[in-house]
Structure 1
Amino acid sequence: MAQESYDVIVIGSGPGGYTAAARAAEHGLKAVCIEKSPRLGGVCLNVGCIPSKALLDSSEHFEYTRTKLAEHGVNVNDVTFDLTRMMSRKDAIVENLTGQVRRLLNNRKVEIVHGAARLIAADRVEVLMENVSRILSAKYILLAAGSEPVNVPGLVFDGKYIVTSTEALAFDRVPKHLVIVGGGYIGLELGTVWRRLGAKVTVIEMLPEIASTLDRQIGRTLQRLLEKQGMSFHLGTRASQAQVIGETVWVTLETEDKSATIECDKLLVAVGRKPLTTGLGLEDVGVKTDARSGQIVVDAAYCTTIPNIYAIGDLIAGPMLAHKASAEARAAVDGFAGLYSEVNYDALPAVVYTWPEAASVGLTEEQLKAREIPYKTGNFPFNGVGRALCLGEKEGFVKMLAHAKTDRLLGVHIIGPRASELIAECTLAMEFGASAEDLARTIHAHPTLAEGIQEAAWSIIK
C-alpha cells in the first residue's frame, strides 16, 4: 500500500484540531486533518458549545418577551414559541460554522480526510474509510479527538428516555419533567433551556453544591437564582438506577440516610466527559495514559511518551474547554515550527451560560485559602451599576481577588448580565500581570456593565 507523507497529521477537527491544522499551514507545513464524522467541527460545533448557545439565546428571547418586556412598558400578549423553527435555526447556525471550518482549511491548503484514524507507528496513521484504507506518515502527529459523555452504572443510555447532552439538544417536544443527573455547566445550561420552554427541571448532584469549579460564593448565588426561576436541586444525592416503564423513567435517588424514587419523562445524564481515545491505537504504539482519568500523559510541549506524537484539548489534563484546546493547538504547532509558545493556564476563563451568566478567571477564594496565599477581596453588585438597572438586570455581582501585598490580580468571578463578555477584560488584565489598582484606574465608559469591574477593583484598594 502506498504511503502518503505530510509534515503534520492532525486527528480530529474540533476547535483544537482545525486550529492546529490551520496553524501548521500558516507555518508552511504540509498538513492533513482526519475527521471520522461527515461534518467538521467536532463536539463543540456540532453537539456542544454552538448548538447549546443557539438554544440558550432563543429560549432567552422567549422568556424575556414573556416575563420582562412589560416592565419596560412593552405589552405582548399570548407569547408562544415554535420548537421546530427554533431547532432549525440552531441547525442552520451549526451548518454555517462547520462550513466555515471547511473553507478555512481548504483556503489554507490543508487536506481533509474523512475516516477513522488509528496509530500504527510513531510516524504513521492508518485511516479506515468506507471500503478502503490509507496509510499516512508525518514527522508530527497531533491527537485532538475530543471527548465523550461519561457512562454511569445503572443509568444506561437509550437515546430516547435516558439521554446524553447530544439528544437533549434535539428533543422534538418539551419534556414535562426533565431530571438531570449532574449539576455542572452542561446540565445547568440544558436545564435552563428546557425550563424556559415550560419543562419542570430537577437537578441531582452528588456533591453538596452545584457548579463545583466556581468560586463558592458565585455557585451559591447561582443556585439561589436558578431556584428562584423554578429549577429544583437535590444535593448530596446519587442517582443509582433508572428504569423505563412505558414512557416514564423511574429514577432511584440515594442520600446518606435514605432512598427515594422520582419519575420523569426524560433523564439527562450529564456527570462529565472523558477523553475519546477508543480506537486510536494508543496501546499499540506505547502512548501512556493516566490509569484513573484515561487522559493522555504529555509534557510541557504537549508531547506524549512517544516522540513525535502529541496530544491536546480534552485528551489531556485540565478543563474540557474549546478555547483551551485552541490555545494548546497553537502552542504545540508553534513548537513544530521551532518557535516558543505556551498556554497561561492561570488566565484561562470559564463560563456557565445560564441567566444570569457566571464567569471566572484565575483562582477562587477557596483555592487561595487552601494554598495559604494572602489575599484581599472586593465586591460590587450589579444593582449599583447604572447600565444594569437600565437593562432591568439587577442580580449578581463582581468579585475580585488580589494579592494582599502586591495587589496583583489572582482571580475575578462574575455572576450577572453578560458575564461571558465581561470576563475578557479580566482575562487580559491577568495575562499582563495587572494589579487591582491598574483596573480601577483604567477609565471605563459610562454607563456600561464593565463599570462593575472597575468598582470592584476600587473596593479593593480604597
Structure 2
Amino acid sequence: MKYDLIILGSGPGGYVAAIRAAQLGLKTAIIEKDKVGGVCLNIGCIPSKSLIHQAETFSRIKELEYMGIKFNLDNFNYKKIFEKSRKAADTLSKGVQYLLKKNKIDLISGEGKLLNKNEIIVNDKDIYTSKFILLATGSKPKSIPGFEIDEVLILSSNGALMLENLPKSIAIIGSGVIGIEFGYIMNSFGVEVHIIEILDRILPTEDLEIAEFLEKVYKKRNIKIHKSTKSRIIEKTKNEITLELESEDKKNIIKVEKILVAVGREPNTKNIGLEKIGIETEKGFVKVREYYKTNADNIYAIGDIVKTPQLAHVASKEGEIVVEHIARHSTEKFVDIYKIPSAIYSEPQIASLGYTEELLREKNIQYNKFSFPYRGVGKSIAIEKSEGFIKILTDKETNEILGAHIIGAEATELIHEVLLAKNSELLPEDISEMIHAHPTLSEGIMEAFRGIEGWAIHI
C-alpha cells in the first residue's frame, strides 16, 4: 500500500505527528513494534507520574494524623499502587489507539526497517511505500560499565517502574530528572535512598539555586546525597549489593537491596536501516537540518533520536513542524530551545524555561534577577505548601524575559503563564499589572515580575 507519510514509532512524537498529518489531508500510517504511545505512555512519563501522585497521597498520612486520624499500615500493599500506575498507562495507550482509528490512520504492528528512501519493510516480509518517512523511534535507558542492568538487582527506569514490591534500600546512580523523581517516590514509601552523583551538584541542567534548594529539602527527608562521588560494586549476592563510594580521597561502603541506573537515555537508531540508505548520524543521534530533515530530503527524524531535549512535548512539537512543512501549512523550522518548558515532578516540583544564570554569565549577557518566596503567597500558607521560590531573569537593557525557574507547589503548571508571556513578547510590567485572582499560587508569578520592576508588595 502507498502512503503520503509513514511514521516509524508511535510515541508522543510519532502519534501526534500522525494525527496532525491526517488533519492536513495526508494519507498516513504508523509502524509500531510494541505498545502504542511509546515509552512515555507505557513505561515513562505517565506511569511515573501516577506513582508520584500516589506517593504524595501516601505522604499526607502525617497531615491526617495531626487531625487525630489513626492509620494501621500493617496491610500496606505497594502492588496496588503499581497496578494503578499500569491502569493509567493502559488507559492512555488505548486512548491513543482510538485517536488513530478516529483519524483514519493505519496502525501497522511489527518491526520496521528502511529498505530505501521510499520503502519500509515490516517483520522482514511486508513492504510499505511512502512519499515521506518520519523516524520517531525514541530512546532507551543508558547503561554504564560495571553496572550491567539485569532488572533484578540492577534496574533501569523501566525496571523501577515495574517493581511490584519495594526494596528496603536503593542506590540511585545519577541525579538528573529520573534519579530525582524516583528518589522522591522511594523515599515517600519508606525506602532508604542514596543518590550518587559524579558531578559536584545534583540536577546539572537546572538552575544552580533551584538544585541547591531541592538538595536541602531532600536531605531534610533523610535522602542521602553523595556528590562528586564515584561508585563501584564490590560484592553482589542474591539479595544485596555492596558499593564502594569514593569522593575527595574518602571511601565509604554502603549496602543496598537494589541499584537504579539513571544516567540518561540513548537513541533507538540501531537496526532501523539507517546505514543501508546512508542516513547520517553522530554518536547514535540522527543528524537533521531545518524542518528536521535528514540528509535524505524525504526522510525526517524527531524526538529522542535527534540532539534536542529528550522531552515528550518537544517530540510532539517537532512532529507537528515536520508534517506542517510536508503539507505546506507552516514555515516554522525548529523548536526554539529557549521556549521549551521543563518539568520535574519532585516534591516540591521544579519547572523552568529559557536561560539559567550560569548560561547568561557564560554568554556574557547582562541581566536582572528577582526571586519571590512562596511564603509571600497567601495560598501557599493556607495549603501548607510554602516551600520554594520563583526566580525571573530579564535582559538588563530591554527587560525581555530571558528565563524563569520555579521550585514549589504546582510549579509545573505555573511555568506556562511565564511561557505565554515570553511567546507573546510581553514585558514584566504587563504581568505585574495584570489582576490575579486571590488567593492563588499564580500571584507569586505576578509578585516576581513586580519584583523585577522594583515594587513587589508581599516581601
Normalised-by-shorter TM-score class:
over 0.9
Residues 1:166 and 2:163 are matched in the alignment: no
Residues 1:186 and 2:182 are matched in the alignment: no
**Alignment match of 1:341 (pick from 297, 317, 332):** 332
AA aligned opposite 1:61: T
- Distance (whole Å) between structure 1 residues aligned to residue 425 and residue 221 of structure 2: 38
Residue 260 of structure 1: how far off its partner (Å): 3.7
Q: Tell me the alpha carbon deviations over residues 219-257 of structure 1, each in whole angstroms, 9 at most, x when there is no partner.
A: 100111111112111101122346421211122333352
**Alignment match of 1:27 (pick from 21, 24, 29):** 24
User: Aligned residue for 2:207?
Assistant: 215
Residue 392 of structure 1: how far off its partner (Å): 0.5
AA aligned opposite 2:22: A
- Distance (whole Å) between structure 1 residues aligned to residue 72 and residue 373 of structure 2: 34
- Distance (whole Å) between structure 1 residues aligned to residue 248 and residue 111 of structure 2: 45
User: Aligned residue for 1:106?
Assistant: 101
Residue 450 of structure 1: how far off its partner (Å): 0.5
Query: Paired residues, what number?
Result: 451
AA aligned opposite 1:157: I
**Alignment match of 2:62 (pick from 58, 67, 74):** 67
AA aligned opposite 2:25: G
Alignment of 1:158-307 (within 5 A): 158-241=150-233, 243-291=235-283, 294-307=284-297
AA aligned opposite 2:44: G
**Alignment match of 2:33 (pick from 33, 36, 45):** 36
User: Aligned residue for 1:47?
Assistant: 43
Q: Residue 146 of structure 2: SS of its match in structure 1? A: coil
Residues 1:90 and 2:82 are matched in the alignment: no
Residues 1:126 and 2:121 are matched in the alignment: yes
- Distance (whole Å) between structure 2 residues aligned to residue 79 and residue 249 of structure 1: 28
**Residues 125 and 366 of structure 1, relative CA distance in 2, 3 Å threshold:** same
- Distance (whole Å) between structure 1 residues aligned to residue 423 and residue 265 of structure 2: 28
- Distance (whole Å) between structure 1 residues aligned to residue 158 and residue 337 of structure 2: 28
AA aligned opposite 1:180: I
Contact 2:5–2:29 (8 Å) recurs in 1: yes
**Alignment match of 2:441 (pick from 421, 437, 449):** 449
In structure 2, the gaps of 5 or more residues are 455-459
Q: Tell me the alpha carbon deviations over residues 168-217 of structure 1, each in whole angstroms, 9 at most, x when there is no partner.
A: 11222221111000001101111211111110000000111111111100
Q: Residue 410 of structure 1: SS of its match in structure 2? A: strand
AA aligned opposite 1:329: G
- Distance (whole Å) between structure 2 residues aligned to residue 154 and residue 145 of structure 1: 27
Contact 1:175–1:266 (8 Å) recurs in 2: yes
- Distance (whole Å) between structure 2 residues aligned to residue 230 and residue 108 of structure 1: 50
- Distance (whole Å) between structure 2 residues aligned to residue 146 and residue 74 of structure 1: 49
TM superposition score normalised by structure 2? 0.96
- Distance (whole Å) between structure 2 residues aligned to residue 197 and residue 240 of structure 1: 26
- Distance (whole Å) between structure 2 residues aligned to residue 317 and residue 441 of structure 1: 39
- Distance (whole Å) between structure 1 residues aligned to residue 250 and residue 278 of structure 2: 46
Residue 126 of structure 1: how far off its partner (Å): 0.8
Q: Tell me the alpha carbon deviations over residues 17-56 of structure 1, each in whole angstroms, 9 at most, x when there is no partner.
A: 000111111111111100111x201000000000000000
TM superposition score normalised by structure 1? 0.95
**Alignment match of 2:71 (pick from 71, 77, 87):** 77
User: Aligned residue for 1:332?
Assistant: 322
AA aligned opposite 1:384: G
AA aligned opposite 1:222: L
**Alignment match of 2:11 (pick from 2, 11, 14):** 14
User: Aligned residue for 1:380?
Assistant: 372
Residues 1:309 and 2:299 are matched in the alignment: yes
- Distance (whole Å) between structure 2 residues aligned to residue 79 and residue 398 of structure 1: 37
User: Aligned residue for 1:320?
Assistant: 310
**Residues 20 and 188 of structure 1, relative CA distance in 2, 3 Å threshold:** same
- Distance (whole Å) between structure 1 residues aligned to residue 64 and residue 376 of structure 2: 21
Percent same amino acid among aligned pairs?
39
AA aligned opposite 1:127: V
AA aligned opposite 1:426: V
Q: Residue 121 of structure 1: SS of its match in structure 2? A: coil
- Distance (whole Å) between structure 2 residues aligned to residue 243 and residue 438 of structure 1: 60
Contact 1:155–1:242 (8 Å) recurs in 2: no
Contact 1:119–1:284 (8 Å) recurs in 2: yes
Q: Residue 301 of structure 1: SS of its match in structure 2? A: helix
- Distance (whole Å) between structure 2 residues aligned to residue 74 and residue 123 of structure 1: 68
User: Aligned residue for 1:422?
Assistant: 414
In structure 1, the gaps of 5 or more residues are none
Residues 1:5 and 2:2 are matched in the alignment: yes
CA RMSD of aligned residues (A): 1.4
Residue 451 of structure 1: how far off its partner (Å): 0.5
The more displaced of 452-461 and 132-141 is 132-141
Residue 258 of structure 1: how far off its partner (Å): 4.1
Contact 1:121–1:285 (8 Å) recurs in 2: yes
- Distance (whole Å) between structure 2 residues aligned to residue 60 and residue 42 of structure 1: 26
Contact 1:379–1:456 (8 Å) recurs in 2: yes
